[in-house]
Amino acid sequence: MSCIAALSACNTTTKTVEIKERKSESLFNLPKDITEQDVLRGSITPERAWWDLQHYTLSLNVDPATKSISGSNVIKYKVLNEAQALQIELQPPMKITKAEQNGKTLEITTKGYSYFIATNADNKIGSEEAVTVYFEGMPKEAIRAPWDGGITWTKDEQGTDFVASANQGIGSSIWWPNKDHGYDEPDQGIDMHVEVPEHLMNISNGRLISTSHNQDRKTKTYHWKVINPINNYGVNINVGDYVHFGETYRGEKGALDMDYYVLSYNLDKAKKQFKEAARTIEAFEHWFGPYPFYEDSFKLVEAPYLGMEHQSSVTYGNGYQNGYLGRDRSQAGPGLLFDFIIVHEAGHEWFANNITAKDVADLWIHESFTNYSESLFLEYHFGKGTAFKYQRGSRRNPQNQKTIEGLHGVHREGSSDMYDKGGNVLHTIRQLVDSDEKWRQILRGLNKEFYHQTVTAKQVERYIAEQAQLNLAPVFDQYIRDARIPMLEYFIKEKEIDVRWANTIKSFDMPIKVNIDGEERWITPTTKWQTISLAKQAQSFNINKEFYVGSLNILGD
Ligand SMILES: [Zn+2]
């Protein structure tokens, strides 16, 4: 296999290259808690903008005995503009030892964990070139995966090595060198050649192309291939004593291969619990359109942590039980009707992997829609009442202290309210759309319009507003860019009710469905007092409970 050659080359040449630290350009006049590294990591720097990532060939040796990883990555790129240094990230203690192009060693300078490689190709605009980067080290160990990120080196119940990567947030450059920014995905996918001790198996993204036995080294190399664009935090390794079973699902785009890799002693439990997988695909194809990666198949892979949306290689560690580790996150009952990790992480195949945020500040696109996908799964299989109850129950979880939107350009996510609050924002917008079928077509339309693309939140917001033919800008600005939950204040008088929005941005004017004396009607409050005239004094005034808002009866009676 090519990786073996690459690895031995790597091992023999690592100590000969000197890598210098780049001089600070003091270009940055930054707020206190933002570092120059944050800007290099989080923005589309000139050293990133001039090239378009085409493909990775990642060859790795994973050694559980020394908790180390070494290998090479061939980075294929297309030249968009006049060439500059090529920026790649790899976080310590991992390090890049050498870069090569056209048979020559390239000069590298560093700034923090950003590496700037001086390419030697012609780099004619429109041409395709490749740089090979060699790397090695003991990657940061994940202690609380998937929350902290890194590599989990552990043993299964039988004492066999069980190793997995998870790196959402911290980024995939925690264990392999790549263009670590969401905006650019390898258009032609990734080939992974992963060498592991011969008694273990490695499961990665896409399809298994070949396995080769390196008898002299007592290892096996697993070649996995993804042909679709893939977000870099989705690339993963899972090394352990796996067994395989699978099925073919007849879906909207034909036959979908669904493969399951679980630890050998969990096979019986998995065969029962993973029946949820096909039911999940069925529900989500109904709501979101065809599964986005038929060519790369769908997989569930057991992992030594809770789970992660690794593209076409969803990792699972929910203990073969319903709920979230056996609990109902909504506390309303319906959360125990499904396996949270299968449903939530599979939902990300549409929102995170198909439609990917360019900037992690817009990560709510991943988590809000996927949070809402849990309700949509329930709605498809158990009905609207059950689903809506689950969605309302999840309103216990948001803190409403910080915005869902993060800080653009500096690798800063928004608050974790992007999950449950985000889902309820979408549920509220669905009420505004006021048609289940139109809402479904918007969700399907998003997955078509932005198929295999990286997007900004604004693009998604505009698409929804245009399709719904609603002015949703104040709604998104309120719920995504402000931490407060709108409060409908009302004042019941003789033959009128006065209403206004409080606790909001100035322009907030969301219509809302209310019930006055048993009669349902839409009202459109603004932040100024407004009068609803009635024939007689209202005996009851109720706000439709599907809207995520608070209310205050000014007179309190
Ligand atoms: Zn998620």
Residue at token pair 């190709």 = 121
Task: Give the residue among 161, 167, 142 at the shortest CA–CA distance from 152.
Answer: 142
| Contact predicate 512/523, CB 8 Å | yes
Residues 6+ apart with CB under 8 A from 550: 485, 486, 487, 488, 503
Q: Is 236 helix (H, G, I), strand (E, B) or coil?
A: coil
Q: Which domains does the chain have, with CATH numbers?
A: 1-239 (2.60.40.1730), 355-481 (1.10.390.10), 487-553 (2.60.40.1910)
For residue range 354-387, list pLDDT tens digits in order: 999 999 999 999 999 999 999 999 999 999 999 9
Strand (E) or helix (H) holding 101: strand 95-101
**CA 166 – CA 170 distance, rounded (Å):** 9
pLDDT of residue 16: 46
Q: How far is the CA of 417 from the centre of ligand 1 (A)?
A: 12
Please count the residues of the chain: 557
Write the secondary structure of 473-536 as one string of H (helix), E (strand) and C (coil): HHHHHHHHHCCCCCEEEEEEECCEEEEEEECCCCCCCCCEEEEECCEEEEECCCCCCEEEECCC
pLDDT of residue 29: 61
**CA 50 – CA 38 distance, rounded (Å):** 20
Q: How far is the CA of 91 from the centre of ligand 1 (A)?
A: 24
Strand order of the β-sheet with 238-240 is 150-155, 161-166, 238-240, 201-203
Q: How many CB atoms lie within 10 A of CB 119?
A: 21
Residues 6+ apart with CB under 8 A from 51: 77, 78, 79, 80, 83, 86
Residues 6+ apart with CB under 8 A from 229: 185, 186, 187, 188, 189, 452
Neighbours of ion ligand 1 (CB under 5 A): 370
pLDDT of residue 6: 36
Q: How far is the CA of 267 from the centre of ligand 1 (A)?
A: 26
Q: Is 304 helix (H, G, I), strand (E, B) or coil?
A: coil
Q: How far is the CA of 231 from the centre of ligand 1 (A)?
A: 14
**CA 74 – CA 56 distance, rounded (Å):** 6
| Contact predicate 260/300, CB 8 Å | yes
Q: How far is the CA of 209 from the centre of ligand 1 (A)?
A: 29
Residues 6+ apart with CB under 8 A from 436: none
pLDDT of residue 28: 53
**Partners of 141 in the β-ladder:** 151
Distance of CA 210 to the CA centre of its chain: 28
Residue ranges for the chain with pLDDT beneath 50: 1-16
Q: How far is the CA of 81 from the centre of ligand 1 (A)?
A: 35
**CA 391 – CA 398 distance, rounded (Å):** 12
Q: How far is the CA of 309 from the centre of ligand 1 (A)?
A: 7
Q: Tell me the longest C-alpha to C-alpha distance in the chain.
A: 91
Q: What is the pTM of this model?
A: 0.94
Q: How far is the CA of 331 from the centre of ligand 1 (A)?
A: 19
For helices 457-468 and 436-449, what crossing angle results, to 10°? 140
